[in-house]
Amino acid sequence: MQVEVTGIKKAYRSKTVLKEVSFSAQAGSCIGIVGSNGSGKSTLLSILAGVRRGNGGSFLCDGVDLLRRPGLIPKVVGYVPQGDPLMEELNAWDNLRMWYDRKTIRESLAGGALWLLGVGEFLKTPVHRMSGGMKKRLSIGCAVVSGPRILLLDEPSAALDPVCKENIRTYLEAYKKEGGIVLMVTHDAQDLELCNECYVLKDGVLRPYQYDGDFRRLADMLRVEE
């Protein structure tokens, strides 16, 4: 599988948010995108997820432009936004039942994605009583119900404790080994270590970045000039 994102553009009235954003990814890889708040990272993911319309560009998966065939996006792409798309009054099991049948849930809890994410630990917990880490793991579990080959993650480890981060990392490593492609927006240095390629999004332009473990240097690069 190969993904080619080419010339994604987005503008709001007089403000251009994304300027001809382009990159490619191969099966089994993770792409990390970093940028300051308001740089357009979440906008880019939402366009690729089919949630928001861009002003141009293409999103090719094995030669098929998903932006021109939006009905295919839910079958190919899993999307986890910053805000957890869960039903607050329901517990984890009932949220999963909105996406999975009972048999699939049990199989996944026994050794699949839900097991790797540790969702079985809080099946009966209502969402409004969950920690941020529980909500994020459950959101990812719901996003991969259709077995998507591409996973879009918006700040997957923000404000999570080390145990939750490790659960998510374990799952993402397994997802990559099975040939999946992860596109991750993050501010977390540990997330960048999982990435095969990194990019910086600044002033609407996406540029390759070689992360060398020096997070201070990266922060200086992202700093918005007054």
> Angle 162-177/132-143 helices, nearest 10 degrees?
20
The answer to pTM > 0.85 is: yes
The string of pLDDT tens digits covering residues 44-95 is: 999 999 999 999 999 999 999 999 999 999 999 999 998 888 999 999 999 9
Q: Are 85 and 78 in contact (CB under 8 A)?
A: no
Strands 197-202 and 30-34: parallel
pLDDT tops 80 at residue 15: yes
Q: How far apart are CA 131 and CA 137, in angstroms?
A: 10
Q: Domain limits of the chain?
A: 2-222
Q: What is the pLDDT of residue 43?
A: 96
Q: What is the pLDDT of residue 85?
A: 85
- CATH level 3 topology of 2-222: Rossmann fold (3.40.50)
pLDDT-derived band at 226, boundaries 50, 70, 90: very low
Average pLDDT, the chain: 91
Name the strands in the sheet holding 77-80, side by side, starting at the edge strand that comes first in the sequence.
77-80, 150-154, 181-185, 30-34, 197-202, 205-209
pLDDT tops 60 at residue 124: yes
pLDDT-derived band at 217, boundaries 50, 70, 90: confident
pLDDT tops 80 at residue 215: no
The string of pLDDT tens digits covering residues 182-214 is: 999 998 888 888 999 999 999 999 999 887 777
Q: What is the pLDDT of residue 36?
A: 85
